[in-house]
Structure 1
């Protein structure tokens, strides 16, 4: 997968915090965790020394446990925790994290002519310019420029030193640091890696005409993502030409590119 060729799953940021750092927040003595598990406090609280000692997913894969090894006889199935295997699992984790924000934390500047409807975490040095409309909960890192005149919808996470510009709509997506979506673009239910640049008018599609779940190629097999809305997965360093259109569920590997006006119908592994 494009995103996992340049970083381990446990080193992927969710809400701008590495997955392994989310695990470190569970300061419970003797608790062990699967490095690729997304864990909720609600589920971890189910584990007790005199009760269930292992948290598992619906396939009985251990997610968190007390002791040297998980005890299958003292296992409980998680309600919201799950194992991150595919990139779209990152979207699911991000939705849970950002969707459950209960207060805003603003360290940057928000112009009085911007509208925020929801909770926002805005990092230091970041600026939200006039005409920006943020609907739902959003996390934005440090030293970002947002706007003018763009639309950001929950649950979206934007890393550090990113630019989301004029007439751009971002919906339920993850943008890693140093990524730019500058002009006239739509990014929906997608993940963009680091140092990605979307040329003006680049548009992702995220909905099938028949409304069915999206499927995407994984090692030559079409896999059901379980998602009715699913855009694209873009690796680090990808550049798109102006007016690029990307089919749903397509993946662009790191450092690939598109030509102006190109329609991306298949995964892009190389530029050849």
Structure 2
């Protein structure tokens, strides 16, 4: 997978916090976690109240447990926790985490002509410029510039040293650090790796005409993502030419590129 080719899953940020740091933050004595598990607060609270149990997913893979080893004979199936296996699982985890935020934390600057309707975490040195409309919960890292005149929708996470600029819409997506979506682009239900640059007019499609779940190819087999809306997965260092159009569910491997006007109909590996 493009994103997992350059970093282990537990080093991937969810809401700009590494997955392994989410686990560390639980601070529950004796609790062991699968390094790739996304654990919901509800399931963790249940497990803590019933400390002899093991939390498993629907395939009986242990997600979290007390004691040295997981006890499958005393297991409970998670209600909303799951194992991150594919890149689209990152979108699901990010949705749950960012949507759960209840208090804003603003360390950067917000222009008075920007509108924020939702909970926002804004890192130090970051700027939200005039004409920006943020709708829903959004997490933005440090030294990032948002705007002018763009639309950010929840549940989106944007890393450090990014730029989301004029006439850009970002919806329910993850942008890693150093990534630029400068102008006239749409990114929906997608994950963009580090130091990606979307040329002007790059558009991701995220909805099939028949409304069915998207499927994505994994090792030659089409896998149901479980998502009705799913854009693209973009590896580190990808550059797109202006007016690139990307079909839903497509994956662009690290350091690949497109030419102006390209249509990405299949996964781009070289």
Q: Give TM class, smaller chain.
A: over 0.9
Q: Secondary structure at the match of 1:73?
A: helix
Aligned pairs for 1:108-123 (under 5 A) are 108-123=108-123
**C-alpha deviations, 1:8-57, integer Å up to 9, x for none?**
00000010000000000111111110000001222112225865420111
Q: 1:60 to 1:166 in 2, by over 3 A?
A: same
Q: What displacement does 1:202 show?
A: 0.2
49 and 98 in structure 1: CA distance in 2 versus 1, 3 angstrom threshold? closer
**Quick check: 1:248 aligned with 2:248?**
yes
Q: Secondary structure at the match of 1:201?
A: coil
Q: Name the CA distance, whole Å, in 2 between partners of 1:195 and 1:240.
A: 12
Distance 2:118 2:66 in 1: 37
> Shift in Å at residue 210 of structure 1?
0.3
Q: Is 1:139 matched with 2:139?
A: yes
Structure 2 distance, partners of 1:92, 1:28, is 24
Please give the alpha-carbon distance, in whole angstroms, between the structure 2 residues aligned to 1:169 and 1:65. 41
Residues 1:223 and 1:112: Cα distance change in structure 2 (over 3 Å): same
Query: Please, what TM-score do these two structures have when normalized by structure 2?
Result: 0.98
C-alpha RMSD of the superposition: 1.0
User: Compared with structure 1, are the counterparts of its residues 117 and 197 closer, same or farther at alpha carbon in structure 2 (3 Å cutoff)?
Assistant: same
Matched, 1:177 2:152: no
2:47 corresponds to 1:38:
no
Q: Residue in 1 aligned with 2:237?
A: 237
- Seen in structure 2, the aligned counterparts of structure 1 residues 171 and 251 have a Cα distance that, compared at 3 Å, is same
Deviations 1:56-107 (A, max 9, x none): 1111110000111111121111111100000000000000000111010000
**Gap runs ≥5 in structure 1:** none
**Is the CA contact 1:51–1:74 (under 8 Å) kept in the aligned structure 2?**
no
Match of 1:9 in 2: 9
TM-score relative to the length of structure 1 = 0.98
The answer on whether the counterparts of 2:52 and 2:66 sit within 8 Å (CA) in structure 1 is no
Q: Using the alignment, how far apart are the partners of 1:153 and 1:216 within structure 2?
A: 24
Q: Which runs of 5+ in 2 are unaligned?
A: none
- SS of 1:142's equivalent? coil
Query: 1:226-260 deviations in whole A, cap 9, x for unaligned?
Result: 00000000000000000000000000000000000
1:95 alignment partner in structure 2? 95
Moved over 4 A (4+): 48-52
The secondary structure found in structure 2 opposite 1:183 is: coil
Q: Provide the rounded CA distance (Å) in 2 between the counterparts of 1:48 and 1:181.
A: 42
SS of 1:187 mapped into structure 2: strand
- Partners of 1:175 and 1:192 within 8 A in 2: yes
Count of matched residue positions in the alignment of Structure 1 and Structure 2: 270
